[in-house]
Amino acid sequence: MPALRSVRILGTGMYVPPDVYTNKDLEKMMDTSDEWIVQRSGIRERRFAKPGLGVSDLAAEATQHALTAAGLKVSDIDAIVFATLSPDYYFPGSGVFLQNLLGCGQIPAFDLRNQCSGFLYGLNVAKAFISSGQYDRILVVGAECHSRAINLTTAGRDVAVLFGDGAGVVILGPNDDPKRGLLSLHLHSDGAHRDALKMEFPSMRKWPAITQEMLNDTKHYPTMDGRLVFKNAVTRMPEVVHEALAYNQLKPDDVDFYVFHQANLRINEAVLKHLAQPASKTYNNIDRYGNCSAASIPMVLDECARSGRIKPGDLVCMASFGAGFTWGSALLRW
Ligand code: ACO
């Protein structure tokens, strides 16, 4: 068997729609308050895409930035891995929407359904293809249009205030620099908690998949056991970071920069405390964008790469936790 190739991130990109919705804007739609939202989640505003746009449109914008950053052309991309929980259509997946929008050749387009861990799952899929030599450069996408499926009334306020729209992408490729590259990925799931955070309808377990009665009962919106999600996130994220570090015979102090999924500022503060690491070793943008699920990690990567917050040679550790439950970590030398 030929040796596996080392893999690295060649470029990053992100895009958020221009329309800003502050907590004060949400106060006009439901019984909530800026104080409640900031105190519980750290979120101050989020972006909502205009009707008519979908995740593939946001991802296409982000991809152009990543191509420029990597010095590549659309024709250099050999495959797309698209992670989202808010796709353009129920089917086909958003990967083919993006393939068409970008005007790539007839390259394969994979779609992943791993919610807030979707980007790390996507990174693992892409890494495996590149390491084995099957493809050279893969566009890994995390993108969400959450605004389409949140109940922006008081009945849905526990979930609705947390989410926003956005896209983040990376282009992954073979690595010729022995001092850089993706070192490891560790992924997990526990379907025993599949109902703790879900959007059940339309459901292919039902016939018909959605009825007027379900719509009247607002069954087509997500539901969440927030406390259970919180409790599991603050346990699983440090656990999977330690798993990555142990695998690479490293310690939390060896990491230069931590990139966490942006679900809740309080979760990330608790994870950092658990790892006994200073706030200066991480970066959060949840205050400006809310929780963008699969897009959150690549959006943070892009802002940090562009601002120089993450520098070539830095040891970067990413970690996520989300619906499913699914969680994971990735360690790379930037
Ligand atoms: N505005 C005002 N009041 C609200 C709102 C709101 N938007 N939402 C709920 N409340 C009220 C509740 O009705 C409740 O009122 P009551 O005491 O009269 O019954 C009160 O606030 C407290 O509600 P709780 O749900 O107990 O609030 P909690 O302190 O648990 O905070 C939160 C809720 C922020 C969701 C928290 O549980 C949490 O952070 N969970 C983690 C889940 C998460 O971050 N999910 C994001 C997506 S998952 C992921 O990406 C990992």
pLDDT at 179: 83
Residue in 158, 261, 325 to alter for ligand 1 test, most ligand atoms within 8 A of Cβ:
158
Q: pTM above 0.85?
A: yes
The whole-angstrom separation of Cα 226 and Cα 132 is 40
**Per-residue pLDDT tens over the stretch 11-20:** 999 999 999 9
* Residues 6+ away with beta carbon under 8 Å from 188: 236, 240, 326, 327, 328
Distance from the CA of 28 to the center of ligand 1, in angstroms?
A: 19
Query: For the CA atoms of 39, 42, 44, 45, what is the dihedral angle to 10 degrees?
Result: -140
Task: Tell me how far the alpha carbon of residue 272 lies from the centroid of ligand 1, in angstroms.
Answer: 21
Residue 186 one-letter amino acid: H
Catalytic residues: 116, 261, 291
Q: 300: CA distance to ligand 1 center in Å?
A: 24
Distance 271 CA to ligand 1 centre (A): 19
Residue among 27, 33, 40, 152 to mutate when testing ligand 1 (max atoms within 8 A of CB): 40
The structural domains of the chain, ordered by start, are: 7-174 (3.40.47.10), 181-333 (3.40.47.10)
Output the pLDDT for position 176.
Answer: 87
Q: What is the pLDDT of residue 1?
A: 62
Residue 25 has which token pair? 């804007």
- The ligand 1 site (C-beta within 6 Å) comprises 32, 36, 40-41, 116, 157-158, 161-162, 197, 224, 226-227, 229-230, 233, 263-264, 291, 321-322
- Helix, strand, coil share (%) of the chain residues, nearest 5: 40, 25, 35
Report yes or no: 118 and 293 within 8 Å, Cβ to Cβ. Answer: yes
Going through the chain in order, the beta strands assigned E by DSSP cover 7-15, 20-22, 45-47, 79-83, 109-112, 138-145, 165-174, 181-189, 197-198, 223-224, 257-260, 315-322, 326-333
Exposure string over 312-323, b if 16+ CB within 10 A, otherwise e = eeebbbbbbbbb
| Choice from 114, 193, 227 to test ligand 1 binding pocket (greatest atom count within 8 A of CB) | 227
Ligand 1 atom at minimum distance from 41 CA: 34
Listed as ranges, residues in the chain with pLDDT below 50 are none
Q: What angle do CA 193, 196, 201 make, to 5 degrees?
A: 110
